[in-house]
Structure 1
Amino acid sequence: MSSAPAPPAAWPVEPVLVLGAGPVGQTTALLLARWGVPSIVLDQRPRRDDVGSKAICQQRDVLDVWEAVGVGRRIADEGVTWRTARTFHRGTELFAVELAEPGRPAFPPFVNISQTRTELLLDERIAAEPLVDLRWGHRVTALDQDGTGVTVTCADGPRVRGSYLVLCSGARSDELRHQLGVRFEGHSFDDRFLICDIRTDMPGWATERRFYFDPDWNRGRQVLIHPCPDSTFRIDWQVPPDYDLDDEAASGALDARIRQVIGERGYEIVWKSVYRFHSRLADRMRRGRVLIAGDAAHLVSPFGARGLNSGVGDAENAAWKIAYAGRGWAPDALLDTYHDERHAAARENIAVTTATMDFLVPPDGERARYRADVLARAAADPAARALVDSGRLAEPFWYVDSPLTTADARRPFGGRPPRGQAPPAGPGVLVPDAPVRGAGCPPRASRFRELARDGFLLLATPEADLDAARAAATAAPGPVRVLALGAIDASGALAAALDARPAEVWVLRPDAHVAAVLADPTGDDVRAALARAAARSTTTRAEEDRHGVLPASR
């Protein structure tokens, strides 16, 4: 477990309001507490509703975020680990993606566990955290903000005030978005999807995700199967727009549908539901002192597990920036970069998931013929196989175009990597993890990302001017740690994961993303990169020319 950063004892303004006690709101509040920031979490429900599996795929880097607040390992240990994603067309396996593991990560690529259980584990951490005040039964109907804070009005009359507000109250936040002047445009897909959580014994299926195009038992449509804890399998069937679950259950057709997948073995339906997919995005994710996160800001189809996982990315981005702006370590402009970075991440997710849905449910005849041709050829043709889209799995977004990132001509971003792969370490990319030990490590820290989430981090490779880095750190507001790579990387695993080169200083943000990689920098160079990474200034064209910095490009 990562130790918390050590901010000043007192938060100088009012608590932060968090609307919504789902995983995004819970994560936001716990991360704020890690920065010494008190929060009040308001949820309209009377209590936690323990119903259904909901979002089940928790991505490795999200588990890392949860471990920073003390619960990632428990979630991972209770969940089902899988590393392989198999895709089939009818009875033929087309390909299997083995998910990459850059560096030596602490967690597996994906862990399947119900959102319901994840929420309960996060609730346990909240109950033990005095800086989080969770209040059920508070339906917010109005919000007003001024230059120093945000006041919300609840349906039963109470008014609650905070310094900032993170709106993560889910997709049905229409009225609050309207009050903020935020549009939530996009579209909904006509086809429906049946979901069943089924407890049964399925030997050989417990450690992999399976996706079927046009199987005999759902001709013309798709089926997705995920393993879950307690011998449970999550099965999603694409069904017609007029599908009626009650009629199918009453007629026995649902039992027949399930047995087409699992055979004659015994089973129990733990939960079932029918849903439609949506693709929507808020036009602004910051309005004054309000940041919009999770499903309140963006909706995507679940193929690829990009919903909850991207919401946790929102939470981490929002939490450290609110902490820095509220403590005066960074200007208010840092909060603008929340929109810059997370809106770009949401656009990426929508582009990826829309392409998947267009392949799964072709919107016109031309694309239907294209899909049929690709699937027919894919069993024997590797080129066609690469065109099959059964969902590109969730991955951290790359902040290469962020105003906080100092790009590096020596480490250009190569664009979206092949599915299952991660981009090389470099500016804008989440830093790979690796074990660390040595005199330079704080007590209890055993992994690099534990060090990288305590504030800004300056990592100096051999031959770099360590004194210049220390001087720059001393001059910067807020926590900045300086470490020599050789002092913490006895095995060389971290240097290999970074492709570290002599005389470099790596500047890491409080969310473990690389802000800059500086070659043989002076103290002024490091100060400039730190200032840019906290929105205190931007790199000048003269500095860019001197260091060969190019505009970031995706």
Structure 2
Amino acid sequence: MDPVIVVGAGPVGLALSFALARHSVPSLVLDSTDGNPPARAARSCILRPDSAAVLPPLPGLRWRSWRTRRRSQQVEQLELAPEQAPVHIEQHVLERTLRSALAEEKLARIVTDSHVDLLEQDATGVTAHTRGPSGTWWRGSYAVGCDGARSMVRKLLGVRFPGRTAVERHAVAALRVRLPWEEGQYDEDGAWEPGDVGAALLHRDPGGTPGEVTARPLPQGRWRLDWLLPPRGDLVTPEEMLERVADTLAVWSEESLRESAKAAAAPVGGRAGRAGRPGTPRRPAAGGAPGAGPDETRASSGIGPYELVDTGVHTAHQRLARHWRVDRVFLAGDAAHLTGALGVQSVDEGLRDASNLAWKLALAWHHGHGAAADTLLDSYETERRGAMVARLRAVDQALPVVRRGGGLRALLPGGARTHLGLLTDGHLGRGLLGAPPAYTRTPLTPARGSVAEVTVGTAPGAPVCDVSVTATDGSRGALHEWLGGAGGELLVLLVAPGTGVWDSRHWLTAGMMPELASAVAGLPLRATLLVAESYPGAAAHTVLAIRADGHLAAAFPAGRFNALRTCAEAVRGGAYS
């Protein structure tokens, strides 16, 4: 059978090809570039744990905390557990990591300098034409347009892309600098050794200096700073960008010096605290060359010298394609939706598209076509477009509250806390603005009453918790390690207290395990049996049927093997012809 054609080699297209390979589906990535993404530190993305779990190991930086400040006052600090910590990574690093992983995959092929200009469909597949001196035709079973906001695939399909332009704008700068709240200590030679790294959202009064700024750490001692701009306005000149950097660091320097002075003057054991203690910023010589450009070093009093690595302007639009599937062609990522206001992460949402679509294409590719395959493939648009409708609606409702609600002043003691929650939800992947969606209205669930379902801590359609599990071969790990195709199109998780204490060879042949293992092996799709000591809200001997994208299909008592098969049939859209 022909490979799946993936048009576009950004993060979403590359991640989709990687996921398809793990599902044993060949793919052809048509890349319009030369295959060498430019290094842009100011162009980074934040990945939630559920999105990062199905990717190759990433060299990005995981946050430890999130802090909200107004002037010298810290309004809130949230400590992030490892399973909640987002990964901050430059987009070109993410793309190169995925390209390296695909280079090791026999089922994946990337063709560079391939600009698609024609797309045709018939009953058995898709034909794509790429322009060039002689032109090339490519044949595929399906095609997915991951070719960005100006998607040629979307235009060739005639799909409308309505929405709003320039909902938010940010001036962006990437700096190599040590900021005051970066934890660490000086070594014996006076060199700074970073410790735990956090992230800080800093919000000023509207119209004040430096305005609303988000500071997010990157590897190698760098930070990405975003300043909120008017939605529509003049271009940000290099001089204005340098002024923003200088003004912001000057304000933070003054605040850190005042805090250091207070800490030094505070009585500690009957003596004054010692300034310059580990973790306290040293004050360097003030000054610096005015008008310094990118990659030049300047100094800021109270923080230290910094290197301006990269700058840019990020504009957030809100658009949503009318359709995400037209017969054998699909849209994903920025080709299907544009987001980005209030911290909503567009790359992260695109990766969720790829994770949702990959296992469905795999089932249709491996098991044939018909009504069940159509139900399965239609569910991609139902689930993912529905999730993005909810996300965009939440942003529309939150924007007037956050941007015209009095700023952080309303969040101080005695003020409303609503603004603070909205400002942090999108950045941290919480609530309506950032949490992974629950696919509650999906056709891929058993008919009501056909399965005696039980209640667990995860609702049907919601993402499962990343608990510790053991496979039937004795290997152990976290549940998310089996997602994204590593465990097939379905994971069957048995909650069996006590199994973690014993070697797997002792309990694999005991009780209901042999019969359950045989039932899993006989399912009409590739499935993996896992065992967990416990699962939140689940009683002992509960079975959870989990889709390859990590969303719960159903939970039912162990021993109900007919329920397991019914659930598997529903997950793949029904019985295949």
User: Which of 279, 289, 308 is matched with 1:269 structurally?
Assistant: 308
Alignment of 1:202 with 2:192, yes or no, is no
**CA separation of 1:201/1:429 partners in 2, compared to 1, >3 Å: closer, same or farther?**
same
User: Which of 158, 166, 173 is matched with 2:144 structurally?
Assistant: 166
Deviation of residue 474 (structure 1)? 4.5
1:17 counterpart letter in structure 2: I
User: Which of 93, 101, 109 is matched with 2:74 structurally?
Assistant: 93
Deviation of residue 90 (structure 1)? 4.3
Match of residue 336 from structure 1: 378
Match of residue 301 from structure 1: 340
Match of residue 348 from structure 1: 390
Could you say what secondary structure the match of 1:342 adopts?
helix
Quick one: distance in 1 between partners of 2:68 and 2:207?
16
Is the contact between residue 93 and residue 379 of structure 1 (CA under 8 Å) also seen in structure 2?
Answer: no
Alignment of 1:180 with 2:157, yes or no, is yes
Q: 5+ unaligned residues in a row in structure 2: which ranges?
A: 184-196, 254-299, 430-434, 498-510
Alignment of 1:446 with 2:485, yes or no, is no
Match of residue 445 from structure 2: 405
Quick one: distance in 2 between partners of 1:62 and 1:190?
25
**CA separation of 1:248/1:220 partners in 2, compared to 1, >3 Å: closer, same or farther?**
closer
Deviation of residue 297 (structure 1)? 0.7
Is the contact between residue 167 and residue 341 of structure 2 (CA under 8 Å) also seen in structure 1?
Answer: no
**CA separation of 1:94/1:405 partners in 2, compared to 1, >3 Å: closer, same or farther?**
farther
Could you say what secondary structure the match of 2:214 adopts?
strand
Corresponding residue pairs, total: 480
1:468-488 CA deviation, whole Å, 9 max, x = no partner? 6456434432212334x3xxx
Deviates more, 1:143-152 or 1:207-216: 207-216
Q: TM-score, normalised by structure 1?
A: 0.79
Could you say what secondary structure the match of 1:319 adopts?
helix
**CA separation of 1:127/1:451 partners in 2, compared to 1, >3 Å: closer, same or farther?**
closer
Quick one: distance in 2 between partners of 1:111 and 1:462?
32
Alignment of 1:117 with 2:164, yes or no, is no
Percent identity over paired residues: 30
Match of residue 64 from structure 1: 53
Match of residue 216 from structure 2: 226
Deviation of residue 500 (structure 1)? 2.0
Match of residue 129 from structure 2: 153
1:33 counterpart letter in structure 2: A
2:52 counterpart letter in structure 1: L
Could you say what secondary structure the match of 1:528 adopts?
helix
Q: How does 1:234-383 map to 2 (within 5 A)?
A: 234-240=224-230, 241-246=232-237, 248-249=239-240, 253-254=243-244, 256-260=246-250, 263=253, 264=300, 265-301=304-340, 303-328=342-367, 331-361=373-403, 368=404, 371-372=405-406, 375-381=408-414, 383=416
Alignment of 1:213 with 2:246, yes or no, is no
Q: TM-score, normalised by structure 2?
A: 0.76
Q: CA RMSD in A?
A: 2.9
Quick one: distance in 2 between partners of 1:99 and 1:189?
31
**CA separation of 1:380/1:350 partners in 2, compared to 1, >3 Å: closer, same or farther?**
same
**CA separation of 1:308/1:426 partners in 2, compared to 1, >3 Å: closer, same or farther?**
same
**CA separation of 1:146/1:202 partners in 2, compared to 1, >3 Å: closer, same or farther?**
same
Quick one: distance in 2 between partners of 1:113 and 1:158?
35
1:217-272 CA deviation, whole Å, 9 max, x = no partner? 9449421110111111100111243333226359x634533533554121111111
Quick one: distance in 2 between partners of 1:57 and 1:261?
26
Deviation of residue 134 (structure 1)? 0.6
Deviation of residue 59 (structure 1)? 1.7
**CA separation of 1:507/1:216 partners in 2, compared to 1, >3 Å: closer, same or farther?**
closer
Deviation of residue 278 (structure 1)? 0.3
Is the contact between residue 167 and residue 296 of structure 1 (CA under 8 Å) also seen in structure 2?
Answer: yes
Quick one: distance in 2 between partners of 1:219 and 1:202?
18
1:436-484 CA deviation, whole Å, 9 max, x = no partner? 34xx54365422233454121222345996566456434432212334x
User: Which of 527, 537, 552 is matched with 1:499 structurally?
Assistant: 537
Deviation of residue 39 (structure 1)? 1.0
1:133 counterpart letter in structure 2: R
Match of residue 268 from structure 2: none
1:340 counterpart letter in structure 2: T
Could you say what secondary structure the match of 1:405 adopts?
coil
